[in-house]
Amino acid sequence: MINSQWERIAGRLRDEVGDAAWRSWLRPVVVHSLKDGAVRLALPTRFMRDWVATHYGERLRALWGAEDPSIRAVDIVVDAGATAAGKTALAKPTLVASSAPAAIAASPAAPEVEELGAQLDQRLTFKNFVVGKPNEFAYAAARRVAEAAQVSFNPLFLYGGVGLGKTHLMHAIAWHIREHDPSRRVLYLSAEKFMYRFIRALRSQDTMSFKEQFRSVDVLMVDDVQFIAGKDATQEEFFHTFNALVDQGRQIVISADKSPSDLEGMEERLKSRLNSGLVADLHATTYELRLGILESKAEQMGVPVPPKVMEFLAHKIASNVRELEGALNRVVAHSQLVGRAITLETTQEVLHDLLRASDRRITIEEIQKRVAEHFNIKLAEMGSARRSRQVARPRQVAMYLAKQLTSRSLPEIGRKFGGRDHTTVMHAVKKVEELKASDQNFSEDVDLLRRMLQG
């Protein structure tokens, strides 16, 4: 049964990721076993394992969950003997990475705590974290928590968009404490896993030992806490655990994709608790930070990557660090597989699918056309001198979007709108921002337009 599930999932993935990626990364996957709601897959090398876990791990879990709701985790292990042709059984998996942040680690130090938490990724240390303007505050706060013998702020709340380094900083804190103060018990887990444990305890009517286990740690770290938004019973339990630990002077570190105040579906009292320590956000990366990260990763991999290639990648792949790493890995993997040096040409070739997506340049003309259609005015009004509200507002929206979605300067934008002055464009941008903040309908309208334009 598990094999037929995999066939269906593999078929889906093949459509989703394309033939080339499928052949390189997914075809070699060997389905190993299904046990306790976790599917175990094997790949022949650590590199491939890491690659598949970071790039397809979440998707694999989602697809498998859709096939069979009892499956909560997909673990990917390294088995040198695993080939899709000759399926070998795994006697002893060496390395385990889990897509559900739910791999169970065993450590002789404090097994009862370890069993609750998730495995720490060895690469996610402070040493490997590249610091730049967008993350220096979060980094400093994380370091402080890791180094302080006394609790200085509680909780430390880290937030930011996907792939900006929240999990990395949390693992780094845990590693640091383990290394420098092994007697302190650190528990790291995802909010999802917290919930899963809690529900299991409820089901087996064993909430007492659940509570005891959680309340006996020195440092509790809960990743992606937005996951328990809207999950009232779990929130309630989390709230109590949180309070019990804070009262005992234990350190808590939380991460989420939004600030405490912006977390929807969270109880007010929990929000205010989360807000009561130090809140530090990770901002979107800058070009300099991306370049620094690439240099550091290339060095770690011990692979010579020409500066031009790194500049190119830092410029083109601006979404988040995970994608950036993924792109670099692909380029490196390709060069190792075919045995050729990395050049700008091979980079463009290997990443053409990725680059095509980010390459789509939105033009001011396109924006004007879309906005005019949307507000039902003539395209010519974009450049006309008419100032009635009916045409002025759409024109301002178009200027605003031109500023947001293209790299044109204010004077250039002004010129395209009937030769207007750059201060007019500046005013339009400000006006639209104000309106967006005060009028939700308007704000949704503008966001919709933006999404349509970004296609």
CA dist., res. 50 & res. 261, Å (int) = 35
The binding track of 103-142 with respect to ligand ADP, each residue x by CB under 6 A or -, is: ---------------------x---xxx----x-------
The binding track of 156-195 with respect to Mg ion, each residue x by CB under 5 A or -, is: ----------xx----------------------------
Cα torsion 420, 423, 429, 432 to 10°: value is -80
Interaction between residue 221 and ligand ADP (CB under 6 A): no
Size of the site for ligand ADP (CB under 6 A): 17
Q: What is the closest distance, in whole angstroms, from the C-beta atom of residue 424 to Mg ion in the complex?
A: 43
Interaction between residue 135 and Mg ion (CB under 5 A): no
Q: What is the closest distance, in whole angstroms, from the C-beta atom of residue 191 to ligand ADP in the complex?
A: 12
Interaction between residue 87 and ligand ADP (CB under 6 A): no
Interface segment toward ligand ADP; rule CB under 6 A; list 159-167, 230-238, 262-270, 343-351 = 159-167
User: How far is it between the farthest Cα atoms of the chain?
Assistant: 77
Q: What is the closest distance, in whole angstroms, from the C-beta atom of residue 224 to Mg ion in the complex?
A: 6
Interaction between residue 325 and ligand ADP (CB under 6 A): yes
Residue 124 interacts with which of Mg ion, ligand ADP, none, CB < 5 to 8 Å by class = ligand ADP
* Residue type for position 289: L
Question: Judged by CB, which is closer to ligand ADP: 113, or 282?
Answer: 282
Interaction between residue 162 and ligand ADP (CB under 6 A): yes
CA dist., res. 134 & res. 315, Å (int) = 16
Question: Judged by CB, which is closer to ligand ADP: 165, or 277?
Answer: 165
Rg of the chain (C-alpha set)? 25
| CB contact set of 35 (below 8 Å; sequence gap of 6+) | none
Provide the 10 A C-beta neighbour count for residue 258.
16
Question: Judged by CB, which is closer to Mg ion: 5, or 167?
Answer: 167
Interaction between residue 100 and ligand ADP (CB under 6 A): no
Q: What is the closest distance, in whole angstroms, from the C-beta atom of residue 407 to ligand ADP in the complex?
A: 25
Q: What is the closest distance, in whole angstroms, from the C-beta atom of residue 169 to Mg ion in the complex?
A: 10
| Of the residues 32, 168, 316, 416, which one makes contact with ligand ADP according to CB under 6 A | 168
Question: Judged by CB, which is closer to Mg ion: 62, or 148?
Answer: 62
Q: What is the closest distance, in whole angstroms, from the C-beta atom of residue 194 to ligand ADP in the complex?
A: 16
| Of the residues 52, 254, 321, 327, which one makes contact with ligand ADP according to CB under 6 A | 321
Q: Assess contact for 256 and 155: CB atoms under 8 A.
A: no
Interaction between residue 403 and ligand ADP (CB under 6 A): no
Residue 134 interacts with which of Mg ion, ligand ADP, none, CB < 5 to 8 Å by class = none
Residue 55 interacts with which of ligand ADP, Mg ion, none, CB < 5 to 8 Å by class = none
Q: What is the closest distance, in whole angstroms, from the C-beta atom of residue 223 to Mg ion in the complex?
A: 6
Interaction between residue 191 and ligand ADP (CB under 6 A): no
Residue 228 interacts with which of Mg ion, ligand ADP, none, CB < 5 to 8 Å by class = none
Interface segment toward ligand ADP; rule CB under 6 A; list 162-170, 334-342, 366-374, 397-405 = 162-170
Question: Judged by CB, which is closer to ligand ADP: 68, or 325?
Answer: 325
Residue 38 interacts with which of ligand ADP, Mg ion, none, CB < 5 to 8 Å by class = none
Interaction between residue 71 and ligand ADP (CB under 6 A): no
Q: What is the 3-state secondary structure (H, E, C) of the chain?
A: CHHHHHHHHHHHHHHHHCHHHHHHHHCCCEEEEEECCEEEEEECCHHHHHHHHHHHHHHHHHHHHHHCCCCCEEEEEECCCCCCCCCCCCCCCCCEEECCCCCCCCCCCCHHHHCCCCCCCCCCCCCCCCCCHHHHHHHHHHHHHHHCCCCCCCCEEEEECCCCCHHHHHHHHHHHHHHHCCCCCEEEEEHHHHHHHHHHHHHCCCHHHHHHHHHCCCEEEEECHHHHCCCHHHHHHHHHHHHHHHHCCCEEEEEECCCHHHCCCCCHHHHHHHCCCEEEEECCCCHHHHHHHHHHHHHHHCCCCCHHHHHHHHHHCCCCHHHHHHHHHHHHHHHHHHCCCCCHHHHHHHCHHHHHHHHCCCCHHHHHHHHHHHHCCCHHHHCCCCCCHHHHHHHHHHHHHHHHHCCCCHHHHHHHCCCCCHHHHHHHHHHHHHHHHHCHHHHHHHHHHHHHHHC
> Which residues make up the interface to Mg ion (CB under 5 A)?
166-167
> Which residues make up the interface to ligand ADP (CB under 6 A)?
124, 128-130, 135, 160, 162-168, 293, 321-322, 325
